[in-house]
Amino acid sequence: MRCLAQARQFLVAAVQPLCENRCLPPDFPQTAGGMGKRRMLRVLCLGVVLGLMTAHCLAQSGSQPAQSQNALQPDSRPATAGDHSAGTVASSPLAANPVGDARALYRRGKFEDALAKYREILKDSPKSPDAWAGMIRVYLKQKNVELAAQTAEQGLAQSDSPRVRTARAEVWFRQGRISDAESEWVKVINSGYAEARAYLGIARVRDALAMYKTAKTMIEKAHAIDPNDSDITEAWIGTLSRSERIRYLQSTLAGDNNWDADDRTGIADYLKFLQQLSTQNRTSSCRLVSKVTSTETPLVRLLLDPQHLRGYGLNVALNGHKSALMLDTGASGILVKRSIAEHAGLSKITESKVWGIGSKGPKTAYRTIADSVKIGDLEFQNCPVEVMESHSVAEEDGLIGADVFENFLVDIDFPNEKLRLGELPKRPNTQQQDLSLASEDDDDSHDAESADTSSEAKTADAKSGHASAQGPQDRYIAPEMQSYTRVLRFGHNLLVPTTIGKVPYKLFILDTGSVTNTISPAAAREVTKVHNDDTIVKGLSGSVDKVYNANKAVLTFGHLRQENQDLVAFDTTSISDGVGTEVSGFLGFAMLKFIDIKIDYRDALIDFQYDAKKWNY
């Protein structure tokens, strides 16, 4: 008999078309918020600073994201030096002018000094679009979204210019109004202004929609217009090969940057890791060495207590040493506790930090490489692993993020307790991509083309008429996947457009490591009453300070709808700051355990299948 925690009645209608057609999805299971008044929830949300392209966004309003219908037109007018509404800036970042001085302060992370400089400019020129846009961006960098929004409206009242409208769209992006933001950026570009930040914004949209090739083109356009913009440069560095990234990271870390202390530490550790990989001649990424290209393996039950199922794990052998690691769609990569690493003979390469939900801050960890990783019938070699310097990882032996399987079609069949990994649909006119366990450390990720691609391979691709699998590619939705839900990918996180009641959709993280569904108090207050609660919510960074209870919320996502009673709520601001857009909650295990979930990470697609007959409802 399965260990099911307080299963509730399921009401399911016939499957409806995609929600982008504005359909009403069928009802899904109704669940209660917990297992008694004082209950403990462990919500895992791993966020390690490993890549530089981590901010992503959404392109379509409604209950599903889709590629924008707004067409970008060629620039019809170049920016001129005297046009402050245009996209270009003075060629030197140290130009002797107030705006140049303020931007230089911003680049060095001297945000209060930059604000003071912008205020001085506005005293003399109240309509200066550069000053208003600059202030908006400083407030966003300081994570003061409310003040950034107020400043945007004040700025537009004084100067309704493309530059200020571009900056206001950046506020909308952070607030989760991503469709509005994209529409504004497209309007700015199509109006004839070569506004670099508008191209950067559109790149973030395309990246979230798995339109990686298009995103790279937009970033390169932004960088060509304004190579002195630190945020554009940061995004542009993320498109380079490993050797180029090392060079630019070294230069940026030693020179001007506006990263905070945690960012600088994380990037410095990441740089050391890349350098160590090079010195150890580990220049190739994790790769599949077994002859099979698919597998089916049992999911291992992980218990919260003798009567309640905590989650499911996988038997993972690191260098021949087998452990049960929790399968967590809210985590990234492979993370194990120290004793597991010691038994597997995994030695430290560089130090690192891991973040998660909670108020205790980052935890000490280190990066290493496993010579062998076996999962089911698949064996991989030369794969990155992180190790926490602790006796447990959120009270487990470790986690394996589902994103490590991004080169496969991932089928997490909770009802039948199986994980299936298969080949993704082949893109038309391209070679099949080599299979591997993915990592944000990999040089061959979707946002960077390997510099080591051989000329012979490129010549062979050209002769055969096939595009190389190396380098970024745009989303491909195969005919058999037309019914999949189109989601947004922010790093390892999959954000699912979810409606709560009759308010506009919100973004919820798909998180099999979260015990139950959770919601932010701000989102909950739009549809129901919120009260203080004594629930304990724990993650990798300890316990959450303040937890609330939402009376009732109906969540609609994919083709399913679920009524939630007594829903746990806590502040998700820090998570939203890390992702770069508003995260309104988590879709957790108490609900997901009833669903067969198929994930195409490559193309940001998910299929949610619920069989009412399986559960006799």
For residue 220, what is the domain's CATH number?
A: 1.25.40.10
Residue among 486, 508, 489 at smallest CA distance from 567? 508
Instruction: Kindly state whether residues 128 and 226 are assigned to the same domain.
Output: yes
Please tell me which of 17-31, 63-77, 363-377 the model is most confident about, judged by mean pLDDT.
Answer: 363-377
pLDDT value of position 266: 78
In a domain, 407, yes or no: no
* Greatest CA separation for the chain: 75
pLDDT of residue 435: 66
| pLDDT band (50, 70, 90) for residue 511 | very high
Number of domains composing the chain:
2
Q: How confident is the model at residue 467 (pLDDT cuts 50, 70, 90)?
A: very low
Residue-level pLDDT at 300: 95
Give the domain-ending residue among 214, 237, 260.
Answer: 237
Name, of 92-96, 442-446, 570-574, the range with top average pLDDT. Answer: 570-574
Amino acid at the residue 205: V
Structural domain of 29:
19-47+484-615
DSSP single-letter state for residue 330:
T
DSSP code of residue 527: T
Higher model confidence: residue 54 or residue 374?
A: 374
Q: How large a percentage of the chain has pLDDT more than 90?
A: 47
Is residue 507 a part of any domain in this protein?
yes
| Whole-number pLDDT of residue 38 | 31
398-401 and 409-413 as β-strands: parallel, antiparallel, unpaired? Answer: unpaired
Q: Which of 237, 263, 281 is the last residue of a domain?
A: 237
Closest C-alpha to 246, from 295, 212, 279: 279
Structural domain contains residue 574: yes
For position 268, what pLDDT does the model report?
82
270 contact partners, CB below 8 Å, separation of at least 6: 49, 50, 249, 352, 441
At which of 186, 217, 237 does a domain end?
A: 237
Is residue 250 domain-resident? Answer: no
Please report whether residue 11 resides in a domain.
no
231 and 140, same domain (yes or no): yes
Pick from 4-8, 156-160, 349-353: least confident:
4-8
pLDDT winner (highest mean) among 61-65, 133-137, 286-290, 536-540: 133-137
Residues 118 and 23 in one domain: no
165 pLDDT band, cuts 50/70/90, is: very high
Answer yes or no: do 494 and 600 share one domain: yes
Instruction: With respect to residue 131, please indicate whether it lies within any of the assigned structural domains.
Output: yes
Report how far residue 378's alpha carbon sits from residue 383's, in angstroms, rounded to the nearest whole number.
13
Which of the four pLDDT bands, split at 50, 70 and 90, describes residue 525? confident
Residue 44 pLDDT > 70: no
Evaluate whether residue 12 is within a structural domain: no
Domain CATH code at residue 488: 2.40.70.10
Burial of 40 (0-12, 13-18, 19+ CB in 10 A): middle
Query: Residue 320 pLDDT more than 60?
Result: yes
Q: What's the pTM?
A: 0.80
CA torsion sign for 216, 222, 226, 228 is: negative
- Under DSSP, the state recorded for 435 is P
Give 139-142's long-range contacts (Cβ < 8 A, gap of 24+): 140/170, 140/171, 140/174, 141/106, 141/111, 141/258, 142/111
| Lowest-pLDDT range of 198-202, 401-405, 431-435 | 431-435
